[in-house]
Structure 1
C-alpha cells in the first residue's frame, strides 16, 4: 500500500492536476511523507517542490481519505491518499518532477489516475 497526501484545489468547478515526468495520467499535487513528517508538512513541501507555491496553513483542512488501485505500479498495488484543501500564495509553475499543471473538468476523468478520480468524488 502506497500511503500519500494530495492537495485538492478547485477553481471554477475544475480540479488542479499535474503530470509528473514519464507519466501518462494526471495526479494530484502531493506525494509521500518523509520520515517524521506530518501531513501538513509533507503536503506543503510537496506542493512547493512541484508547483512553486506556498499553502496557507490557516485554510488547511481535510477532505477525507481515498483508496484505489495504484496507477503505473505492479498489479495489486493500492494507494491510500489523505486529501486536503488549502488556499495558496504565489503563482503556479511546473517545477521539480512536474512537467505540466492544468485544470480538468467534467469529461476529463479518463485523464486521471484512479486515486485522483476517487478524490474528485470528495468535492461533489
Structure 2
C-alpha cells in the first residue's frame, strides 16, 4: 500500500469549512499540501497556505485536530492519503493562487463535492458540531 502524507488547514467560518479545487480537478479538498524534505509540519503548512491562498497563518495559533486517512482521489485503488489537520488563525482573505482554481465555504451537505479524505474530515467536523 502506498501512502501520501499531507497537511491541511481547517478554516471554519459561519459553520462552513474552507475547501479548494485544483485546476483540472472536479472534487474539492482541504487546503494544504506536502512537506518538503526536512520541513516540519508547521513550516510546511504555513508555506502551503501562503502559496495556495495568500493567507498567512499565525504559527502560535496552530493546533492539531487529528489525522485522517482515506483513498487518494484520482489514484489507483490502495493509494491512501493521510491528512494531518490543524486549526489555526489566518491573516488575509483567502484568494486562489498557484494550482488553486476555486475556493468554496462548504457544509456537510456538500460532501458529494469532496475528495474521500476531505469528506471524512467533514464528517468528523460535523460530529464535533463545528459545521452544519
Normalising by the smaller structure, the TM-score range is over 0.9
Q: How many residues align?
A: 124
* Equivalent in the alignment of 2:86: 84
Q: Contact (CA 8 Å) 2:16, 2:106: kept in 1 or not?
A: yes
For residue 27 of structure 1, report the CA deviation from its aligned partner: 0.7
The TM-score, its normalising length taken from structure 2, stands at 0.90
Is residue 3 from structure 1 mapped to residue 38 from structure 2 by the alignment?
Answer: no
Alpha-carbon RMSD: 0.9
Q: 1:57 aligns with which of 48, 56, 59?
A: 59
For residue 25 of structure 1, report the CA deviation from its aligned partner: 0.4
For residue 106 of structure 1, report the CA deviation from its aligned partner: 3.0
Aligned residue for 2:96, secondary structure, equals: coil
Alignment of 1:1-124 (within 5 A): 1-123=3-125, 124=128
The TM-score, its normalising length taken from structure 1, stands at 0.96
For residue 74 of structure 1, report the CA deviation from its aligned partner: 1.6
Structure 1 residues not aligned, in runs of 5+: none
Q: Contact (CA 8 Å) 2:9, 2:85: kept in 1 or not?
A: yes
